[in-house]
Amino acid sequence: MIFRPSHFSAVVLFALFASVVFGITQRETPRRMIRFAIYCFVLFVGAAVVLSWLMFLIAR
Amino acid sequence: MATSLNKNAEADQGFVYLPLIAGWLVPGAGHFLLGKWVRGALLAASILGMFVLGIAMQGKLYGGAHDILDVLGLAGDLGNGLLYIVSRILGLGADQVQVTTADYGTRFIVVAGLLNVIAAVDAHNLRTGRKS
């Protein structure tokens, strides 16, 4: 089986898996785990989008 | 006070590093041993998912250490425990990165290993009572 995601799909998958592990391991209560996982996911994907736009504008 | 003493006595029973080693060898196993079924299942799904997608993207499994970057990659890959060993035996993973997605896949495999180490240490902290 060969899987060829786009760059953005790879970022989203990476962010999803890493955020779940960070949420569970870095916080103690389930509520705080979920909040931290969402926070990490938004930061991962948001940083990728912002950096992508910066690189696009610099390259022009 | 008495509850705290009981908790410490419970934590001292048995081989304290078992969840750490089990968690390293099999993703999520450390949490399963401690009865944390949901956390273990989510950790196992995330780490296994990341590793399998990395292999499916034709990511490279580091087999030797030729330079410092290879040493770091190998250290990350070894974090996957049995997944890494079994994949090496089965000959999975590419020897050379030839397409862009293979480069993503290589990172997925390394990061899955690093996340597995974090999860195993978390299981150890739960076992020793450092985390509830």
DSSP-assigned beta bridge partners for residue B94: B60
Q: What is the pLDDT of residue B1?
A: 45
Tell me which residue range forms the domain holding A24: 8-59
The reply to whether A2 falls in a domain is no
Instruction: With CB atoms and an 8 Å threshold, state whether B56 touches A2.
Output: yes
Q: Residue B6 CB: number of other CB atoms within 10 A?
A: 10
Residue B7 pLDDT exceeds 70:
no
Question: Is the residue at B93 inside a domain?
Answer: yes
Distances in Å between the Cα of B111 and the Cα atoms of B70, B107, B115 are 14, 6, 6
Q: Is the residue at B89 inside a domain?
A: yes
In a domain? residue B1: no
Task: Quote the pTM value.
Answer: 0.90
Question: Does A31 contact B at CB distance below 8 Å?
Answer: no
| Mean pLDDT, range B32-61, rounded to an integer | 96
Total tally of structural domains belonging to chain A: 1
In a domain, B8, yes or no: no
- Predicted interface score ipTM higher than 0.85: yes
In a domain, A1, yes or no: no
Phi, psi values for residue B29, rounded to 5°: -65, -35
- Mean pLDDT across the stretch B86-113? 90
Residue B104's domain spans which residues? 14-128
Average pLDDT of the residues in B23-48: 97
Q: pLDDT value at position B2?
A: 47
Question: What pLDDT is stored for residue B12 in this prediction?
Answer: 58
Closest Cα of chain B to A3: distance in Å? Answer: 5
Question: Count of domains in chain B?
Answer: 1
Hey, of A1, A3, A29, which one would you mutate to test binding to chain B, going by the most B CBs within 10 A of its CB? A3
A18 to B111: CB separation less than 8 angstroms, yes or no = yes
Q: Verify whether the Cβ–Cβ distance A24 to B58 is below 8 Å.
A: no
- Chain-centroid distance of CA B83 in Å reads 9
User: Min CA distance, A58 vs chain B (Å)?
Assistant: 22
Residue A3 lies in a domain: no
Instruction: Tell me if A54 is assigned to some domain.
Output: yes
In this structure, of A13-22, B46-55, B90-99, B117-126, the range with the lowest mean pLDDT score is: B90-99
Calpha distance B57→B101 (Å, rounded):
6
Q: CB pairs below 8 Å between A and B: how many?
A: 61
Under an 8 A CB cutoff, do A4 and B99 touch? yes
Residue B102, C-beta contacts closer than 8 angstroms, at least 6 positions apart: B57, B58, B59, B60, B94
The arithmetic mean of pLDDT across residues B30-59, rounded, is 96
Residue A30 covered by a domain: yes
Q: Which residues of B touch A24 (CB under 8 A)?
A: 39, 42-43, 119, 122
The answer to which of A20-24, A35-39, B2-6, B122-126 has the lowest mean pLDDT is B2-6
